[in-house]
Amino acid sequence: MIDEKTAREHVVSAADRLFYAHGVQAVGMDTVRTESGVSLKRIYALFPSKEDLIVAVLRHRTDQWNSGLATAVDGAGTPREKLLAVFDFLAHWFRDDDFRGCAFINVFGELGADSSRVAEVVREQKASFRRDVAALARAAGGPDRLAPQLVLLAEGAQTTAAISGDPDTAAHARAAADTLIRCALEGTDTAGS
């Protein structure tokens, strides 16, 4: 019998794959059991409700996102390149065979109105991303208005790439981001304010 940590990892990993591919409402706990190889009794001992499992999957996704973004940003040179690395990270992700858009947006669309816990986890992840981009924008010498603009580009690129199936959406968003960054750093008004 596998230990609790390993069982938990198997269940979260299986649920993550299934939820991302098919949606959380379409996947039952029996399917998670089959995919994970962990008994239903043990799954419910680890996650008393499906909502608990969904929250665990979203927290797992947050860790994956933060790690991937940090790796991309850390690999860039200048503060400006670090901002653009956000879009390079998206470009790499959009080319994954299993790319289905932003898991947080997808789950929020399914359950956000009915589950305050799910909505809270999604909002936490989006707020964390905004803070990360704001820190990068400040380090590049950009004005406060730059970060929300870049976040909108990144979020919009995720949705557009998922719907269109076009991974080049990231390159288009990166080009727009480059223009926004250049204008912001040169003092050109990009917000109309």
Q: What is the pLDDT of residues 81-138, one digit of tens each?
A: 999 999 999 999 999 999 999 999 999 999 988 999 999 999 999 999 999 999 999 9
What is the pTM (predicted TM-score) of this model?
A: 0.91
What pLDDT digit, counting tens, does each position of 49-70 carry?
A: 999 999 999 999 999 999 999 9
Does residue 179 surpass a pLDDT of 50?
yes
Do 37 and 118 lie in one domain? The reply is no
Per DSSP, 24 falls in state T
The position carrying tokens 């499992």 is: 53
The answer to the question of residue 193 being in a domain is no
Do 178 and 114 lie in one domain? The reply is yes
The answer to the question of residue 24 being in a domain is yes
The helix or strand, by DSSP H or E, that contains position 26, with its residue range, turns out to be none
Maximal CA-CA distance, the chain:
63
Do 96 and 155 lie in one domain? The reply is yes
- Taking the C-alpha atoms of residue 114 and residue 30, their distance in angstroms, rounded to an integer, is 22
Domain CATH code at residue 130: 1.10.357.10
- Report the number of distinct structural domains present in the chain: 2
| 189 band by pLDDT with thresholds 50, 70 and 90 | low
The answer to the question of residue 192 being in a domain is no
Do 32 and 78 lie in one domain? The reply is no
Do 36 and 55 lie in one domain? The reply is no
Look at residues 31, 48, 65 and tell me which one is the last residue of a structural domain.
48
Does residue 192 surpass a pLDDT of 70?
no
Do 72 and 138 lie in one domain? The reply is yes
The answer to the question of residue 113 being in a domain is yes
Q: Which domain holds residue 32?
A: 1-48
- Taking the C-alpha atoms of residue 59 and residue 42, their distance in angstroms, rounded to an integer, is 20
